[in-house]
Chain A
Amino acid sequence: MDKKLIGCPVCIEHKKYSRNALLFNLGFVCDAQTNTCALEPIVKKLSGYLTTLELESGFISKEESKHKLIPIMSTLLEDLNATGACTLPIDDANTIHLKLIQLRKDPPIVQEYDVPVFTHCKDLYIKSQWDLTTQQILPYIDGFRHIQKISAEADVELNLVRIAVQNLLYYGVVTLVSIFQYSNVYCTTPKVQSLIDDKSIQEECLGYVTKHGQKRASLRDVFQLYCGLSPGTTVRDLCSRYSQQLHRVDERRLIQFGLMKSLIRRLQKYPVKVIRDERSRPPRLYTGCHSYDEICCKTGISYKELDERLENDPNIVVCWK
């Protein structure tokens, strides 16, 4: 049959009914393959409403009101399929509002060293629709400030910023990238080839990375720049090697775009204390679970300082991944 039926049967027992009970069930018929999680709350809600209507005014059992169900059901079907929302006027006093809510995947935890960046133009969003915390931090989300910095500059408590950004992440308004520094190392992913294959990504990329006021950058230059990123090469190295290609390209936005679209990925450094004597405390941060970004954020020391400390320590190895 290849169909799925969703319903919520209701039984109201009362002496007034012909068999001492009224049983009814309003349901949806869907294709067997569709994901129908979003419809279940609607079915439950409807059965609740209809039960209440029946108990209050005998909506379903009385003949005069029963026929109203047909236009209600057809409105329901059409509107839900068209817009995902539906308003059903029942009578003068009652109106039912229904909306399909799509469940999204749980967003990841936002760390203080993550950088939120808008996926679409900032102006598309009506700011007044967001909560106060989000409104306060919105001006500070520029794709370069990390959470800790946003919290400091917007004067909002760190955890509140994290939750607000996580909320934005859930709705796909922002995505997370890593902190930008000229000492960062990146490498290409197989997705970088989509810059060549996919015209829309090409257009988007060239528009995004071209320096203000300059002629549009050429695909070849941009692709060469991305391919120039490899393990062992810092952004600084890239700039000096490909200075000619960077005439029309903003390297910070180049990296940002690459990270947002997963054309490139960041290689983080993880220190691991492999040799230690038995008596000393076990390492807290140098376990291979915490990147330089995280350590610097948590302890407040600069990248350069941390590097100097660890490079010369024979007990510590550093892994890049």
Chain B
Amino acid sequence: MLSPSSVGSPDDPKSMYSHPQNNVYRSGDKTSPISVILVSSGSRGNKLLFRFPFQRAAECPSSLSGKKRNPYALNTTGEVLEDQDGDSREQSPLTDEQLVAGFSDIILATILATKSDMCGKKFELKIDNVRFVGHPTFLQHSPIIQLSKTDPSPKREMPTMILFNVVFALRANADPSVISCMHNLSRRIAIALQHEERRCQYLTREAKLMLAVQDEITTVTESGCPQSPFRQILPKCKLARDLKEAYDSLCTTGVVRLHINNWLEVSFCLPHKIHRIGGNYIPPEALERSLKAISRPYHALLLLESEKALLSQLPLDCSPAMVRLIKTCSAVKNLQQLAQDADLALLQIFQIAAHLVYWGKAIIIYPLCENNVYMLSPHANISLYSPLAEQFSQQFSGHNLPSMLAKFSLPVSLAEFRSPLEALAQEAQLIQMVVWMLQHRLLIQLHTYVCLLIPPGEDEPGLKEEELPLAARVGGRSLSTPSALSFGSPTSSDDMTLTSPSMENSSAELVAGGDSPLNKRMTETLLTSLSEHERQVILSIPAAQSPEDLRMFARLLHYFRGHHHLEEIMYNENMRRSQLKTLFDKFRSVLVVTNHEDPVISIFQSPMD
């Protein structure tokens, strides 16, 4: 892709020369590369084929007539760099370009073009404040390449390339996850180039062009001003333009889409740039956790962009499953229903959802419904002058964001907003506003968690202190991640505690069973995980006299550890909210109830924690 600014003359004010003033390339940004370099090693030795940005020292614009530029000369802007040692603050700091510009072409070619036994592995080299990352790739060639059968020129041995390396130079204190992302990109480009080389010797041809331009420029030595050969390479070599584009995209949006040889697509995203809240980027550990959080069928996928916008960004040959998912996805539908509607396996839904989350196109929420309770997120930007406030009033005219947010200061359920006098259109707008606020991470959803804590006995308080509460004792029986494949139907329940098939049915059936010996035995079995004292306390509760209530309590006992919220229990056990709430109320003397956000998906709303 040819961008007009790259083909300017040295006097052109929009030429590459002006990029130091462009604040996109600010030094100190740890997630952007400083430079991209392509080297090769072959029969002609180690060569630096291309580098971008060009070396400043090589340029000599007519405006600075006479004075010979020192490569270490300082910018007047003088940005402050943090030095790892902290002991060279007295010296004037070098900007990023000077860090890499200090390395000449020959030095770079020597250090970055490795031996063949380092091919196919991650290459990382740190010199003072610069870190080079790449993936040297081996090229296998037939010794003589016949370009054309009708070529009358005498056959001579073509200079062969043995290996090449696409290297990104980063600041030395870049995060390890950024380094591995850059390595990933280097590898992807290398795979594409290797493929194209095998197919039509693309890389050899481009390299030949690049070296020819370099040779040409060095032989044409004009008085005083050596030109940068790389500037001349750009208009002639597609590969050079691709590398420049990769560098520019990494520095700005973090999304790279290249078409190597106008044929193979290489796409890549740097999560550190695309996942931003306010001015800060989300730490990579947060991203890891958010991908792991995609595991519950009762959660929903909320797209962060409109369906149309998302679909337009997909390449032509994208997976049809992804398209179907995007089209059927909705904030009120959970992943289980989405799987059914889009006619995909639940596991596939999880995978596509993870992909969308990674690319910053979606987050996981609990599906919207009127009983959901929302509250302001502690990280929400409620400033009057924030860009979010501006966007909100543009989208929802007549409303301002702080007033809307103030309504969520205390936890409020969506049902409370509804009034019989309000028109349906207003209700729909409210839903839209809530969705907007969720997309911009302004709201958190609160869930009810319940924990079993028996009051200690009067006569043996000492013993009780040593004994762990029930929650910790049954900790081994993990319910937290039911395997996705076992959730074939919404009515299935956990099979952890139950030995008899009859118990797998909904509670309705149990009630019908009445006081049958089977049910009684089940209840007793369930209560054996409790100590004698605990059992006695539970049985002495008035509600425990009712066998159905006691049975329900016993059956749900393993949820009362403070890790499963009300909606999860409802989903797993196919129970109604009112049933559960009544049960909690009846046994309130042994249960402690609290409300807070779901830790599994809280990472989406509070990634900075």
Nearest CB in chain A to that of B389: its residue: A288
Contact, CB under 8 Å: A289 / B383? yes
Q: How big is chain B's contact interface, by range?
A: 35 or more
- Checking B84, B85, B382, B602 against A321 with a beta-carbon cut-off of 8 angstroms, the contacting residue is B382
Q: Which residues of A contact B382 (CB under 8 A)?
A: 270, 272, 288-289, 319, 321
**B187 within 8 Å of A by Cβ?**
no
Binds B, one of A13-21, A125-133, A214-222, A249-257: A214-222
The reply to whether A190 and B84 contact each other, CB–CB distance below 8 Å, is no
Give the complex CA separation of A231 and B87 in angstroms: 48
Q: Are B406 and A319 in contact (CB under 8 A)?
A: yes
Asked whether B409 lies within 8 Å of A318 as measured between CB atoms, the reply is yes
- 0/1 interface trace, chain B 586-602, chain A, CB 8 Å (1 if under): 00000011111111001
A220 touches B84 (CB 8 A): no
**Contacts A196-B469, A270-B382 given: A227-B455 contact, CB under 8 Å?**
no
In angstroms, Cα B469 to Cα A197, docked, is 8
Query: Which residue in chain A gives the minimum CB-CB distance to B176?
Result: A35
Provide the residues of chain B in CB contact with A317, threshold 8 Å: 402-403, 406
Which of A37-45, A91-99, A111-119 is near enough to bind chain B? A37-45
Task: Kindly list chain A residues whose C-beta atoms are within 8 Å of the C-beta of B207.
Answer: none
Instruction: Determine whether the beta carbon of A37 is less than 8 Å from that of B451.
Output: no
Selected from A218, A220, A232, the residue in CB contact (under 8 A) with B592 is A220
A167 within 8 A of B: no
Query: Cβ of B563: which chain A residues have Cβ within 8 Å of it?
Result: 193
Tell me the bound Cα distance from A38 to B284 in angstroms: 22
Interface pair A321/B380, CB less than 8 Å apart: yes
| Minimal Cβ-Cβ distance residue in B for A287 | B384
Selecting from B47-55, B333-341, B370-378, the interface stretch reads B370-378
Q: Which residues of B contact A216 (CB under 8 A)?
A: 465
Looking across the interface, which residue of chain B has its beta carbon closest to that of A226?
A: B594
Contacts of A227 in B (CB 8 A): 592-594
Cβ-based interface call for B441 (8 A): no
Contacting pair B376 A319 (CB below 8 A) = yes
Is B517 on the interface with A (CB-CB < 8 A)?
no
Q: Tell me how many residue pairs across A and B have CB atoms closer than 8 Å.
A: 117
In the bound complex, CA of A265 to CA of B202 (Å): 60
Distance of A317 Cα from B85 Cα, bound (Å): 48
Query: CA A230 – CA B597 in complex, angstroms?
Result: 12
Inter-chain contacts of A107 with B (CB < 8 A) = none
How many residues of A are in contact with the other chain, CB < 8 A?
Answer: 39
Instruction: Give bound CA distance, A283 to B453, whole Å.
Output: 49
Known contacts A192-B596, A193-B449, A319-B402, A220 near B456 by CB under 8 Å = yes
The answer to whether the Cβ of B64 comes within 8 Å of any Cβ in the partner chain is: no
Contact B562 A196 (CB under 8 A): yes
Chain B min CB distance to A34 (Å): 11
Chain A residues, Cβ within 8 Å of B597: 189-190
Please state if B409 and A192 are interface contacts (CB–CB under 8 Å): no
In the complex, what's the smallest C-beta–C-beta distance from B461 to chain A, in angstroms?
A: 8
Q: Contact check: which of A37, A219, A223, A319 meets B84 at CB < 8 Å?
A: A37
- Asked whether B410 is an interface residue with its Cβ less than 8 Å from the other chain, the reply is yes
Per the 8 Å Cβ criterion, residues 171-212 of A in contact with B are: 187-190, 192-193, 196-197, 199
Per-position contact with A for B366-398: 1 when CB-CB < 8 Å, else 0? 000000000111101111111000000000000
Q: Mark A262-282, 1 if CB is under 8 A from B, else 0.
A: 000100001011100000000
Q: Is B400 in contact with A224, judged by CB distance below 8 angstroms?
A: no
Closest to B378 in A: A321
* Distance between B277 CB and nearest chain A CB, rounded to angstroms: 14
Cβ A219 vs Cβ B453 within 8 A? yes
Shortest distance from the beta carbon of B280 to any chain A beta carbon, whole Å = 13
Asked whether, in the complex, the Cβ of B594 is within 8 Å of the Cβ of A287, the reply is no
- Find the B residue at minimum CB distance from A224: B592
The answer to whether B469 and A274 have CB atoms under 8 Å apart is no
A30 to B609, CA, bound (A): 31
A200 to chain B: closest CB distance in Å?
12
A49 at the B interface (CB under 8 A): no
**Contacts A272-B406, A320-B410; A288 near B472 (Cβ below 8 A):** no
Also in contact, A188 and B595, with CB within 8 A (given A193-B563, A197-B472, A231-B410): yes
- Complex: how many Å from CA A139 to CA B345? 63
User: For A230, what are the chain B residues with a Cβ–Cβ distance below 8 Å?
Assistant: 594-595
A274 touches B451 (CB 8 A): no
Are B468's CB and A199's CB within 8 A? yes
Determine the residue in chain A with the shortest Cβ distance to B412: A231
> Are A320 and B562 in contact, CB atoms less than 8 angstroms apart?
no
Alpha-carbon distance between A272 and B597 when the two chains are bound, in angstroms: 25
Known: A190-B599, A272-B384, A274-B400. A41 touches B562 (CB 8 A): no
Closest 6 A-B residue pairs measured CB to CB?
A190-B599, A227-B594, A320-B409, A317-B406, A288-B382, A193-B562
Q: List 11 A-B contacts (CB under 8 A).
A: A188-B596, A196-B472, A218-B465, A220-B454, A224-B592, A231-B411, A274-B384, A288-B386, A318-B406, A319-B382, A321-B380
Listed in ascending order, the chain B residues whose CB lies under 8 Å from chain A are 84-85, 87, 173, 375-378, 380-386, 400, 402-403, 405-406, 409-411, 449, 451, 453-456, 461, 464-465, 468-469, 471-472, 475, 561-563, 592-599, 602
Query: Apart from A41-B87, A321-B378, A321-B380, what are 14 other A-B pairs with CB-CB below 8 Å?
Result: A40-B84, A188-B596, A190-B599, A192-B562, A197-B475, A224-B453, A231-B409, A273-B384, A274-B402, A288-B383, A319-B376, A320-B376, A320-B409, A321-B377
A→B interface (CB under 8 Å): 37, 40-41, 44, 103, 187-190, 192-193, 196-197, 199, 216, 218-220, 223-224, 226-227, 230-232, 265, 270, 272-274, 283, 287-289, 317-321
